[in-house]
Every structure is written in structure tokens, then in C-alpha cells.
């Protein structure tokens, strides 16, 4: 009798073990399957920014993907990026772009979109299977509250479509305004510094008005992967839009210094950017970062061929044109200065000219040039630093403050270089910040970062 009971008990144990093994096997299988997870990056009540991350947990490479889901009545998708979209009623389908369809085992890709209305996706499927394979329930902390401000309180909501009136940048009501913000570093190097988390900090904690999206052409940039870098710029425009920031699309040509060397690339790039974002009011086009080694006539010739490409698709947005000798209005060389520009201006409306300076290198001559030029032509300072022209070395906060006071008095908009954790003193974050993902407060800031943050937090009188 006891032997029989031992046999029965042993059989029961084996059954439990076997059942446990089946559950473990099923769980492992579920965990190993490709999955698509959704998060609302930010939510402002009437709308939100959503992001799907597709992770290949299997052992075989995915060569394409499709995510589909339902949205409730009254909720819809507006802008989207890093995917192609179609819909059937309230059923939305997103498929890969040609450049992000392949996902190796253990790797992931993301795509995002802006939702209008209060609802969230449901009934999600990845390649015809549930987006998140069944797994044992786990307890996880609730998601943090959204940090993006409601659109009604943003710079774009306050100012709308910008235009140039006389020598100044004006909002949709014709009021002269000053935008202040930050430039990314080169996207090929520091894209991990301009993320949803860091841009929330820039918009909310720093009080920025504008993000300059710095896309290098050479130096491992656009020319190495035109499709990928164009899509990356699309992505950053949408991220800025979701936070109510203006977005400067910076065609960051530097070497070679003649912008005409990249003319056909620029026309192709700006045609697509302007075509996709023509209905937005927050996009500005900086068509030549720092022309050098050429005179004003060469820069004007380039502008005369690029601006019509933009205007055909987006007739109202502000265009920013670089000036000779590294956008110094000719001070750093023999570009002819403001006189050359006024004698032969670019024939376009809503146009501003670009000036760059680095306070520790560029003293009274640059300062006086900017002061005089602002009374003659529309100026936008799309790049400046508190240190030397290399973006490194000691900070000269005294000279920097002189420049800021001048620009405030004349309503000259400015963008600081740069929003990254580069080792140089001009990068606002300490090295390693971007990898950690902790951008908030003043703890991760270098001296230049703390200084510029303090001066950005008091908004202009919009």
C-alpha cells in the first residue's frame, strides 16, 4: 500500500515537473518570438506621441515587418516617421521603410507617430501574430507622467507661422520676436543625445523655443546614406513638432566650403523635406551652414537654385542663408561683408542671413559687425558658443553676455552649439550623459551648459 502511494506520488511530481517544463517551454518560446511594444512618449490630453519598438527575440533575421492596430472612433494618426502607413477605417497598418526592414536576432527598430484624440492602440498584430506574445503576468511600476507641455503653452502655439518683417523675425501677428534654443551635434555621431527624453528636458526644463537639427553632409553624414539621414531628419522634425518647438533643418556643409559642390544633393534633400512638412508652421530651412573659401556671388548663386525648390513646395516658411567666411558676414576673410549682400541680395521673401560667432575668439570686430548688420539685413544667429571657435577651450562668459544683451535688444534669434556630451567645453553635457539617458536638472551639465540653460529659461515676450 505504501509502495503504491509512493508510486502515485512520484507520478504526480513528474506530472507537475512536466507541466512546469511545458509552461517554461511555452514561456521561453513566447519570449523568443518577435514582439512589438507600444509606449506613449508624451500625452497632452488632446493628442499624444506614440512609439512602437519591434524587437527580434527569435533566432532568425526578420527581412520585413508589419504592425497593425485599431484606434477607437474619434482618435486618428497624423504625422508618422520611420515607417509607411495605410489604413482601413480605424485599422492602421505600418510597414517598414526600405532601410529598416531587416532586424537581426536580438536587435530592434522603432517607428513613431502623432495621435489626435484620447484613445490608444488596441488589437495589435506583428506580421499577423499578437504584438506581445503571451507570457506570465508580471508586476511593473506605472509609467511616469508625460513631461511634454500642452500645445497651448508652447512657442509654436504662441507664435504660429513665422515671417520676416523688415529686418526682424515676426510671428503670425506681425510682432517681432526672439527665438532661443540649441543645436544638435552631428547626427552621425550624437543622435543618442537628441532623444525623446532629452528633448522633453530641452522644451520643459530649459524653456527652449527652437531645435536646430544639424545634419552634416560630409564627415560620415548625408552623402554616406542619403535615405537614412533624410529619414532621421524627418524623425527629429516630428519630435520637435510634438513638443511645440520650431525646427531648423541645418544643411551642415563645411568641407568643401563651396555650397555649390553639394547643390544637387541639397536640391534633392530639401525637395523631400519641404514636400513632407509643407503643412507645418514650425519648420525653418538653413540651406548652407558655413560657406568658406568663396565669395558672396557663389553663395547667392547656390541660394538662387535651392530656394525655389523649397518655395515650390512650402511657400511661407523662413529660409536661412549662410554668409561668406564661415557665416561671419565676411569678417573672417574677404567675402565683402554686408555691403556685398545688400548690393546683390537673394531674391526671395521670408529670408534671413546667418551669422556665427564664438565669444572667446570673436571680440569687438565681430560684435560690431553683428550690431551694424542687424540694422540693415535680417539676421539669425544659428550657431554660437561661449568658448573658442573650435567649440573648445576656456569660456568667455563676459563677452558672451555682451552678445546676448545685444541680441536681446535687437530681437536677434539665436541657437547655441551644442546639445551633446562631446568632450569639448562647448558641449552642454558631461561625457557619458547621453549613454545614461539622464538629462534632467543641472547635475549633468558642464559650465557652458549651466550658463546657457539659465539664460534660456526666461522666455521672450511672445
pLDDT in tens, 5-15: 333 333 443 34
CB 403 within 8 Å of CB 359: yes
Pairing relation of β-strands 76-81 and 108-116? antiparallel
Active-site annotation holds for 383: yes
Domains of the chain: 35-130 (2.60.40.290), 153-456 (3.20.20.80)
Active-site annotation holds for 68: no
pLDDT of residue 134: 61
Which of 16-20, 168-172, 303-307 shows the lowest per-residue confidence on average (mean pLDDT)? Answer: 16-20
Q: Is the pLDDT of residue 138 over 50?
A: no
Taking CA atoms, 2 is separated from 186, 204, 333, in Å, by: 77, 73, 102
Which of 15-24, 166-175, 226-235, 245-254 shows the lowest per-residue confidence on average (mean pLDDT)? Answer: 15-24
Residue 88's H or E segment, with its range, is strand 84-88
Q: Is the pLDDT of residue 70 over 90?
A: yes
CA distance 398 to 393: 15
pLDDT by residue (tens digit) across 13-46?
334 334 444 444 444 444 478 999 999 877 766 6
User: Of 145, 143, 175, whose CA–CA distance to 158 is shortest?
Assistant: 175
CA distance 374 to 388: 23
Q: Is the pLDDT of residue 392 over 80?
A: yes
Could you say which DSSP state residue 388 is in?
-
CA distance 440 to 424: 20
502623432: which residue's cell? 114
pLDDT by residue (tens digit) across 316-340?
999 999 999 999 999 887 667 899 9
Q: Of 172, 290, 312, 316, which is the active-site residue? A: 290
Amino acid at each position: 500500500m505504501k509502495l503504491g502511494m509512493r508510486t502515485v506520488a512520484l507520478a504526480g511530481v513528474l506530472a507537475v515537473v512536466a507541466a512546469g517544463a511545458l509552461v517554461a517551454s511555452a514561456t521561453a518560446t513566447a519570449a523568443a518570438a518577435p514582439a512589438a511594444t507600444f509606449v506613449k512618449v508624451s500625452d497632452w490630453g488632446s493628442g499624444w506621441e506614440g512609439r512602437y519598438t519591434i524587437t527580434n527575440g527569435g533566432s532568425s533575421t526578420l527581412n520585413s515587418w508589419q504592425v497593425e492596430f485599431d484606434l477607437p472612433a474619434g482618435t486618428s494618426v497624423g504625422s508618422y516617421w520611420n515607417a509607411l502607413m495605410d489604413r482601413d477605417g480605424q485599422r492602421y497598418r505600418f510597414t517598414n521603410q526600405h532601410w529598416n526592414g531587416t532586424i537581426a536576432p536580438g536587435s530592434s527598430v522603432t517607428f513613431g507617430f502623432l495621435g489626435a484624440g484620447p484613445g490608444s492602440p488596441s488589437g495589435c498584430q506583428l506580421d499577423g501574430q499578437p504584438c506581445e506574445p503571451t507570457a506570465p503576468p508580471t508586476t511593473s511600476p506605472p509609467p511616469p507622467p508625460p513631461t511634454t507641455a500642452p500645445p497651448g503653452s508652447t512657442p509654436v502655439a504662441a507664435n504660429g507661422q513665422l515671417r520676416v518683417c523688415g529686418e526682424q523675425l515676426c510671428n503670425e501677428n506681425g510682432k517681432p520676436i526672439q527665438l532661443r534654443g540649441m543645436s544638435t551635434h552631428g547626427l552621425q555621431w550624437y543622435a543618442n543625445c537628441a532623444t525623446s527624453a532629452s528633448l522633453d528636458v530641452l522644451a520643459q526644463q530649459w524653456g527652449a523655443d527652437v531645435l536646430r537639427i544639424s545634419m552634416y553632409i560630409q564627415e560620415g553624414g548625408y552623402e554616406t546614406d542619403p535615405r537614412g539621414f533624410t529619414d532621421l531628419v524627418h524623425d527629429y522634425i516630428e519630435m520637435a513638432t510634438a513638443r511645440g518647438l520650431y525646427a531648423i533643418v541645418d544643411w551642415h556643409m563645411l568641407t568643401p566650403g563651396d555650397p555649390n559642390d553639394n547643390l544637387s544633393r541639397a536640391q534633392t534633400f530639401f525637395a523631400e523635406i519641404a514636400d513632407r512638412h509643407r503643412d507645418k508652421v514650425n519648420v525653418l530651412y538653413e540651406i548652407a551652414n558655413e560657406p568658406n573659401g568663396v565669395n558672396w556671388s557663389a553663395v547667392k548663386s547656390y541660394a538662387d537654385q535651392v530656394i525655389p525648390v523649397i518655395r515650390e513646395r512650402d511657400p511661407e516658411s523662413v529660409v536661412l542663408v549662410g554668409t561668406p567666411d564661415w557665416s561671419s558676414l565676411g569678417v573672417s576673410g574677404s567675402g565683402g561683408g554686408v555691403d556685398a549682400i545688400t548690393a546683390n541680395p537673394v531674391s526671395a521673401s521670408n529670408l534671413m542671413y546667418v551669422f556665427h560667432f564664438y565669444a572667446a575668439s570673436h571680440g569687438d570686430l565681430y560684435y560690431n559687425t553683428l550690431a551694424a548688420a542687424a540694422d540693415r539685413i535680417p539676421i539669425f544667429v544659428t550657431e554660437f558658443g561661449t568658448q573658442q571657435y573650435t567649440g573648445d577651450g576656456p569660456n568667455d562668459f563676459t563677452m558672451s553676455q555682451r552678445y546676448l544683451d545685444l541680441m536681446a535688444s535687437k530681437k536677434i534669434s539665436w541657437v547655441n552649439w551644442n546639445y551633446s556630451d562631446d568632450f569639448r567645453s562647448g558641449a552642454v553635457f558631461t561625457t557619458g550623459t547621453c549613454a545614461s539617458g539622464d538629462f534632467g536638472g543641472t547635475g549633468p551639465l558642464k559650465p557652458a551648459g549651466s550658463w546657457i540653460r539659465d539664460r534660456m529659461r526666461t522666455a521672450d515676450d511672445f
